[in-house]
Structure 1
Amino acid sequence: MSGTSWRAPGRVNLIGEHTDYNDGFCLPLAIPQGCTATLSALDEPVLEVASAQRGKPVEIALADLRPGLLGEDGAWAGYAAGVVWALAERGHQLRGLSISIDGDVPGGAGLSSSAALECSVAAALNDLWDLGLTRSELVAVAREAENGFVGAPTGGMDQLASVLGEQDRVLLCDMRSLSVEPVSFDLEAAGLTLLVIDTKAPHQLTDGLYGERRSACEQAARQLGVNALRDVTLEDLAEAMGRLDDETLRKRARHVITENDRTLACADLLRTGQLRQTGPLLTASHASMRDDFEITVPEVDLAVEVLLAFGAFGARMTGGGFGGCVIALMEPARARAGAIAVEAAFAGRDYTLPVSFSVTAAQGTHKLH
């Protein structure tokens, strides 16, 4: 059987951070940077995974495929192997397979390089093995790979954005129903750019800090007697804060409750073409992540501060936190000046120099050949 190649994008989350596993709302966009997976059949009962960005390929006997199999050196291959494992868990027959991946999403930046890898492999496998999976099923398989095989307790927004992304649209994702509403996000027409600053501060979701935040949210929901924090509205916030018995739980819950409200307000503005007016919501989101959810680091806080001083309509960290990227909604000329100013500020503090680029909302997972 001949091979097949599929490309899946990374994502930037415009707003709605750590709301996905709380059954809440988020507003991601697929970005031009992504991952291409080229798959072909093998006669032997093995899984071969190679990457243009890595050294030695990883080979796994299909009979040995299970979570925890790959050591630290081969952990990168787990995102691809996990997709094969997730399909086997769903009853699909395993067959020998060669997977070649090539990606240009910056690793460790919080732009979902992992979801891009998973979704490209899932879509290519669906094509190669003629599985007939729907796009929603591809999202579920990719998420199972990340949660069940890799062990990262993420909430599924990244895979939704990667599979379902649309050009010049953000996706309003309801993470309870998994319904998606494309909302116009035409930066060029608005005379704006979405600047991304990769701060190069380390970003790692499997080291426990992400899981701690998730556990705190679940504990807060139990104390409040709701299925998830999504069920607590902004109008209920004061009462909810009085019912929680721990300051950390109050802070974590307050972030999620207010972030859901900000996300829906942002979508309302975008529906009427008010891109610039979303800026204060983005900045308020960052303050909430910094002060209540406590997931920012000095590098991202500094980048946000500098970009706001250089005329950003709004700026915030994007992604799971503890490092990664900052986004800013800016006019193009100011964005160039702001990026240079962030570099100078980082140099002044002996931080690793950041990398800046602009993104637009791009097409989701699609076949190349």
Structure 2
Amino acid sequence: MKANAISAEAWAPGRLDVMGGIADYSGSLVLQMPIRQQTSVKLALRDDFICNIHSETSVGEKLSASLDYRELLDGQQVSYTYAREKLKQSWIAYIVGCALVLQQEKGIDFRGADFYIHSDVPLGKGVSSSASLEVSSMKALAQAFRLSFAGTELPRLAQQVENHVVGAPCGLMDQLASAFGAPGKLLPIICQPDKIAEPVAVPEDVYFIGIDSGVRHSVGGASYSDVRCGAFMGYSIILQSLGLDHATIEKTNPSDLPFQGYLCNISVPEFENKFAALLPERMKGDAFLSRYGVTTDRVTKVNTNTVYAIRQSTLHPIYENARVHKFMQLLKEVHHLDGTARLSYLQEMGALMYGSHESYSRCGLGSERTDEIVNLMRSHPADGIAGAKITGGGSGGTVCALAIGEEGKRAVKRVHQHLCEKYETDLVLFE
């Protein structure tokens, strides 16, 4: 049959992770900024259950795929596990996964569609190409089926696509940032799980600029999953030190557990005084399961043969949360300052970014290329570069730099040009 006319069209941007990153799943405050690059989705509904998906990037790369939507259903029912096995992390899972989630959670009668996707959010750069695709696909399907969403429902459903259909253990930060980010402002999100505060304006002469490292990032990578899992293992050890047994932890709603279920509700002094010494530097999965039995994470599972860096994975989100709160306080106050006091505040914000970057590396989520970029930034403080850090899930992707004034912006661009020439490739600059 022929497809119907276009039923809906929607778009959503990628995001630059300024502060917070991988602390999101532990309940941290994070600060996110939308980027200019975005993903648009047009769709035309069908009634023969065929899904035709056509995707094109800004550099002309084209992908196409077709499938019968009924092949993703277990009988006539939606089963995320069944669909995930059928899709095997294919790129189309991010799109048809939205239909599956909306059928399951909102009751849409989805019978196929033609999807036309255009994106200039580059893949694997740590700027949430997947979230922008999920959010724009969700928006388009919502238009087509005349759905309405309350509060943060749409990004939460988009996260379900990534967690349960794609099979990537991301937090909610990326989808919230793509759905609610405002240009020229940082979006504060307390990831417990989705408390959004008023966006914070960035001063006109302060710039957060992303430099693509050229090293592809994947949130589905083993190291990201291991660090996330290690953080939840550390939380379980802390809970059991407080007298909870693993059976109680398993059957209790996380929000009813100590610290409301989030590591980041433990302050740095309390962590240092009560819990840090309890955490093993490293522990193999089978030893953890034998002794502690369970974590509260519903997305990752403890692998018996993996050795987890539990202490660093646990302390990172606690210290990062403190860094982000301090960063936001300084950003709000810098609007009212000038001269040396203002410069001092911006430099302190930059130092917090460098601290975040170093903590990523201790978790095992650094890379030689992102370290090189951060070190190049660090060598140019007199040129107006105050700070830099790896972003998102780490292990490559993008570095976010804090530049002061036009001089700082030019210095970042010189670093970018140097890297493009050195590696003989076009690296994306996110402004």
Q: What is the TM-score of this pair, normalised by structure 1? A: 0.89
Deviating more after overlay: 49-58 vs 137-146: 49-58
- Alignment pair present for 1:60 and 2:132: no
- Alignment pair present for 1:79 and 2:79: no
Q: How well do the aligned residues superpose, as a CA RMSD in angstroms?
A: 2.0
Aligned-residue offset at 1:19: 1.2
Decide whether aligned partners of structure 1 residues 297 and 76 sit closer, same or farther in structure 2, where only a CA change above 3 A counts: same
- Alignment pair present for 1:3 and 2:7: yes
Aligned-residue offset at 1:352: 6.0
Rounded Cα–Cα distance in structure 1 between residues aligned with 2:407 and 2:352 = 22
Rounded Cα–Cα distance in structure 2 between residues aligned with 1:18 and 1:92 = 33
Rounded Cα–Cα distance in structure 1 between residues aligned with 2:161 and 2:129 = 14
- Alignment pair present for 1:297 and 2:367: yes
Deviating more after overlay: 228-237 vs 155-164: 228-237
Q: How much identity, in percent, do the aligned residues show?
A: 26
- Residues 108 and 145 of structure 2 are in contact (CA less than 8 Å); yes or no, is this contact kept in structure 1? no
Rounded Cα–Cα distance in structure 1 between residues aligned with 2:317 and 2:395 = 17
Aligned-residue offset at 1:272: 2.4
Counterpart of 2:168, as a letter, is: A
Query: Given the alignment, which residue of 314, 319, 328 partners 2:387?
Result: 314
Aligned to 2:86: 69
Aligned to 1:233: 267
Deviating more after overlay: 279-288 vs 244-253: 244-253
Query: Given the alignment, which residue of 213, 222, 229 partners 2:236?
Result: 222
Aligned-residue offset at 1:40: 1.4
Deviating more after overlay: 335-344 vs 308-317: 335-344
- Residues 217 and 252 of structure 1 are in contact (CA less than 8 Å); yes or no, is this contact kept in structure 2? yes
Unaligned runs of 5+ in 1: 360-369
Decide whether aligned partners of structure 1 residues 63 and 286 sit closer, same or farther in structure 2, where only a CA change above 3 A counts: same
- Residues 339 and 356 of structure 1 are in contact (CA less than 8 Å); yes or no, is this contact kept in structure 2? no
Counterpart of 1:272, as a letter, is: E
Matches within 5 A, 1:245-284: 245-247=280-282, 248-273=309-334, 276=346, 277-284=348-355
Decide whether aligned partners of structure 1 residues 352 and 20 sit closer, same or farther in structure 2, where only a CA change above 3 A counts: farther
Rounded Cα–Cα distance in structure 2 between residues aligned with 1:346 and 1:51 = 27
Rounded Cα–Cα distance in structure 1 between residues aligned with 2:50 and 2:334 = 51
Unaligned runs of 5+ in 2: 73-82, 240-257, 283-308, 336-344
Aligned to 1:166: 182
Aligned-residue offset at 1:356: 4.6
- Residues 195 and 356 of structure 1 are in contact (CA less than 8 Å); yes or no, is this contact kept in structure 2? no
- Residues 346 and 354 of structure 1 are in contact (CA less than 8 Å); yes or no, is this contact kept in structure 2? yes
Aligned-residue offset at 1:193: 2.1
Matches within 5 A, 1:88-103: 88-90=103-105, 91-103=107-119
Counterpart of 2:18, as a letter, is: L
Aligned to 1:18: 22
Aligned-residue offset at 1:253: 1.5
Aligned to 1:326: 399
The alignment covers a number of residue pairs equal to 352
Query: Given the alignment, which residue of 195, 212, 223 partners 2:209?
Result: 195
Rounded Cα–Cα distance in structure 2 between residues aligned with 1:34 and 1:345 = 24
Counterpart of 2:234, as a letter, is: A
- Cα deviation, 1:131-152, whole Å, max 9, x if unaligned, reads 2223511111110111111111
- Cα deviation, 1:42-81, whole Å, max 9, x if unaligned, reads 1321222110135342112121122232357xx2211111
Task: For residue 44 of structure 2, give the secondary structure of its aligned residue in structure 1.
Answer: strand
Aligned-residue offset at 1:339: 3.2
Aligned-residue offset at 1:192: 2.3
- Alignment pair present for 1:205 and 2:219: yes
Aligned-residue offset at 1:306: 0.5
- Residues 18 and 208 of structure 2 are in contact (CA less than 8 Å); yes or no, is this contact kept in structure 1? no
- Residues 188 and 200 of structure 2 are in contact (CA less than 8 Å); yes or no, is this contact kept in structure 1? no
Deviating more after overlay: 176-185 vs 211-220: 176-185
Aligned-residue offset at 1:303: 0.2
Task: For residue 223 of structure 1, give the secondary structure of its aligned residue in structure 2.
Answer: helix
Query: Given the alignment, which residue of 127, 133, 137 partners 1:111?
Result: 127
